[in-house]
Structure 1
């Protein structure tokens, strides 16, 4: 009996800010088996959102990021581009949006959107990340950084051997410039091919000299494909492999606004297995393919008060919402300028 209560006490203690504010044990966020930890060694179970900052008037997030932070989110996936696609994507602006994210108490996860569905663009994105002026920015924030190499690189035609060789090369190049932070690798198949992550993930982790990779699946899986069992089985497979997996994008609806995606099961299974998720998307920049994907709408679009419909549900109202399950990093809070 006493042992049981002692175990509960220790478990609670490990998740408190007291534990979270001790001196770092690592230089960066890191993985250990399927679990992710901040530099102090405290568990990091991501609860947050995506936002398409690069297409926003507020592309540095000066006003948007503090509004997202009101949900209690602990991570933010930042849609970005190379300068070849958007002149706003300069190293100076990347530096500012990363700092704004950190200052609001969220771990930043920048991603490059240029290669969405386009496997042949992977190398060009690594070219951007490995530019000396960009590396300088990444190293400045590396203690808190999750670097998502490429959004949904490659369509459904990509085979596992292609994926393996392409990302081995990317890992080698990124580590060669001195980056130690976790590299986040999206599934191919427009982010949806979890099988390719399960097949190649263990070998990619072994290949990485830092052994610090996170794999991200985008669960745009419609109900007619048996998504409930697919979600449960897929997550259970990743756990069995001890693979550090997150759900990098999801919403109740996909292209065309059909509400066919079982977002509640995604949240339930992630909570059960202590797995991170990031909802798509905050909505300051509206989704052209389906406005209902926007978590915030109306006159207060982009603000906390503008949360509505499923956005209000997954951010605040549901028992498994961001506000009800997110654990903020006391270590990151202690470092905010």
Structure 2
């Protein structure tokens, strides 16, 4: 059950700001880096993600999707991968091919391990530690790609049970990747199926950021039924902005089984705050959430109403996306 998000938090988020050192990255960045609570590309330009999620691990033959997503204006694609624990493993060669497809199509590539989804509540879900092991195992496909690739350690890592260890487990996973020599920007998802109704990520984000030796971690909130009012959306995102902690909406939709998210407010608020958003998802959703498909059968010439909204509507991808400067202006 998804608990309602309330405006009043039990912890004053402003306390976070005292622990966050904003400014230059803590290491010599060769790719994306965080400074002043904002994500910057390798040329030093602020980068705001505008894109979609693509379920690559279940549809590995749909490689034309990368070009089609780019053609509709996106600057980023978040790619679903599997560690092999719940679905067929995306091996090093496949990860390298995905990165190549992103680069060919001038897309920033956010790679996520999906097997962590709902850990502690969903049967078969794996830990962030297991996801970290996966990234280390495919690091040869990631090395040297820091200008183009962001590593999203694990999708929605915790359901609504036993999520109190999120901060410790997330920090340990980040440090595991750093210890293995991965200097990429790292993205971390919230617990509670990504929606953080418990404010666990919100109230511990500063400590997780500080635990990254490179100070190069960004936070991802998923907005579905918990975020059904503009006030809730604005309050959550503005607390991160005030604390100078990097945040984006890593998934959202126009409808959901747990309630009706306010997609107009999500898109308007992220645009006004210069924050990224990545809609769910390009195509191929199961029948129970098929309304979240942006295209019919992966056909870019057959957009659904959700696809039309996110690509061509107010504050949509076509109107607001700017290509990463590493690919030229």
Q: Aligning the two structures, in what range does the TM-score lie when normalised by the shorter sequence?
A: 0.7 to 0.9
Q: Report the alpha carbon displacement of residue 333 of structure 1 after superposing the two structures with TM.
A: 4.2
Match of residue 330 from structure 1? 325
Match of residue 127 from structure 2? 121
Give the helix-richer structure, 1 or 2: 1
Q: Report the alpha carbon displacement of residue 182 of structure 1 after superposing the two structures with TM.
A: 0.9
Counterpart of 1:42 in 2: which secondary structure?
coil
Match of residue 13 from structure 2? none
Match of 2:201 among 184, 197, 200: 197
Q: TM-score normalized by structure 2?
A: 0.85
Match of residue 37 from structure 1? 40
Moved over 6 A (4+): none
Q: Report the alpha carbon displacement of residue 74 of structure 1 after superposing the two structures with TM.
A: 0.7
Match of residue 296 from structure 1? 295
Match of residue 177 from structure 2? 174
Aligned-partner Cα distance in 2 for 1:142–1:201: 23
Match of residue 286 from structure 1? 285
Aligned-partner Cα distance in 2 for 1:198–1:121: 20
Aligned-partner Cα distance in 2 for 1:307–1:124: 36
Asked if the contact 2:229–2:265 (Cα under 8 Å) also holds between the matched residues in 1, the reply is: no
Asked if the contact 2:163–2:192 (Cα under 8 Å) also holds between the matched residues in 1, the reply is: no
Q: Report the alpha carbon displacement of residue 286 of structure 1 after superposing the two structures with TM.
A: 2.7
Match of 1:253 among 249, 252, 255: 255
1:148-227 → structure 2 map (5 Å cutoff): 148-160=152-164, 162-193=165-196, 195-222=199-226, 227=229
Asked if the contact 2:224–2:252 (Cα under 8 Å) also holds between the matched residues in 1, the reply is: yes
Aligned-partner Cα distance in 1 for 2:254–2:226: 9
Report the CA distance shift for 1:287/1:196 in structure 2 as closer, same or farther (over 3 A).
same
Asked if the contact 2:75–2:321 (Cα under 8 Å) also holds between the matched residues in 1, the reply is: yes
Gaps of 5+ in 2: 1-27, 121-125
Aligned-partner Cα distance in 2 for 1:144–1:78: 13
The range that moved more, 61-70 or 176-185, is: 61-70
Aligned-partner Cα distance in 1 for 2:162–2:266: 25
Asked if the contact 2:75–2:323 (Cα under 8 Å) also holds between the matched residues in 1, the reply is: yes
Asked if the contact 1:280–1:294 (Cα under 8 Å) also holds between the matched residues in 2, the reply is: yes
RMSD: 1.8
Larger Rg: 1
Q: TM-score normalized by structure 1?
A: 0.83
Match of residue 18 from structure 2? none
Report the CA distance shift for 1:222/1:121 in structure 2 as closer, same or farther (over 3 A).
closer
Deviations 1:14-33 (A, max 9, x none): xxxxxxxxxxx840111112
Q: Report the alpha carbon displacement of residue 42 of structure 1 after superposing the two structures with TM.
A: 1.0
Match of residue 240 from structure 1? 242
Asked if the contact 1:68–1:303 (Cα under 8 Å) also holds between the matched residues in 2, the reply is: no
Aligned residues: 296
Match of residue 90 from structure 2? 89
Asked if the contact 1:36–1:244 (Cα under 8 Å) also holds between the matched residues in 2, the reply is: yes
Q: Report the alpha carbon displacement of residue 289 of structure 1 after superposing the two structures with TM.
A: 2.3
